[in-house]
Amino acid sequence: MHENFENKGWLCEGFSDAYGVLDAAKKRMYDLYIIDVNLPFSNGIALLKELRKTHPQVPAIMVSGSNDIETIMDAYAAGCDEYLKKPFDLRELELKVSKLMNDKLLELSENVKYDLAGHTLLIDEKAVHLSQKETALLHAFMSNINRSLSHEYLESVVWGSVEENGHALRNLILRLRKRIGKGIIETVQGKGYILRLNAEK
């Protein structure tokens, strides 16, 4: 699977166990997960449950040789979007990946939407030009909806390191709020910021 997607121009990372995935997910954002049910020292369903705690919006495809209906039900209950039974044609997997990537259009308000796959902000159905830093910041929020993100995490995502002062991040947040509207990105006193969507405050 890894080689097939890389040959088609996708940027992929492969992991041999759940620990590697969880560690990597703390450091970077992914656009989609493909997880095998059977993993060393763990299983894919337990891994997905952990990933869903911090990255609820990232599409996930579960693959397995098991046809057991209980396993399939557990996978969907854990938050998988698609379940593929082995053996399968890689073209079928490609179709499911393309569908999930293209379907991730998230609505922030009636006229403001975000294309998770294309990292694009849409206002009144038209793409809005964002700077590279604004794009990185908004994608960090949209990949972690309803989750409080620390100043340090956001700075590392945008600048690749922690800034010596918070002025740059505050100014970037202010610019982003003007773009998407008030009341969506909230300040979490002493901790950071949170983008709330379809959740009780």
| Per-residue pLDDT, 120 | 85
Distance CA 133, CA 169 (A): 10
Residue type present at position 102: N
Q: Which amino acid is it at 166?
A: G
Question: What per-residue confidence (pLDDT) applies to 201?
Answer: 39
Query: What is the distance between the alpha carbons of residues 40 and 100, in angstroms, rounded to a whole number?
Result: 27
- pLDDT tens, the chain, 201 aa long: 888 888 877 788 999 889 899 988 888 778 899 999 998 888 999 999 999 888 877 889 999 988 888 999 999 999 999 999 998 888 888 888 877 876 667 788 888 888 876 778 999 989 999 999 999 899 888 877 788 888 888 988 888 877 666 789 999 999 999 989 888 899 998 889 999 875 443
* Type of residue found at 199: A
Fold: same for 2-103 and 129-195 = no
Query: Token digits for 98?
Result: 């393309």
Instruction: List the one residue out of 158, 123, 125, 130 whose CA is nearest residue 28.
Output: 158
Helix (H, G, I), strand (E, B) or coil at 20: helix
What is the reported pLDDT for 105?
72
SS3 143: coil
Assigned CATH class of 129-195: mainly alpha
pTM: 0.55
pLDDT of the residue at 60: 93
The architecture CATH gives domain 2-103: 3-Layer(aba) Sandwich (3.40)
Where are the domains positioned within the chain?
2-103, 129-195
pLDDT at residue 199, rounded to an integer: 46
